[in-house]
Amino acid sequence: IILSSAPPRSPPNPVMEEQLPTRHALAALDVVYEMSTVLDTGLSKSELAILMGLCENSVNPEALAAVV
């Protein structure tokens, strides 16, 4: 038997998980938006954020590209 001195972890707080995006997510969106601008896609930041969210939720990126 292995005993751990670390305190038990509390369950994740669903309210905290749905708060505003972190600085890292916003920085990633900024980079993607800059790439989109260079490639002249015509997509807005909000449209890119939606597409990124769909990709993070396992939607097929090739299917999204075909629709967009």
Between CA 27 and CA 1 the distance in angstroms is 45
What is the DSSP code (8-state) at residue 6?
A: S
The answer to whether 31 and 48 are in contact (CB under 8 A) is: no
Between CA 45 and CA 26 the distance in angstroms is 10
Nearest by Cα to 33 from 25, 18, 68, 58: 25
42-50: Cβ within 8 A, 24+ apart:
43/68
Q: Kindly report the pTM of this predicted structure.
A: 0.65
Residue 60: pLDDT band (50, 70, 90) is very high
Residue 11: pLDDT band (50, 70, 90) is low
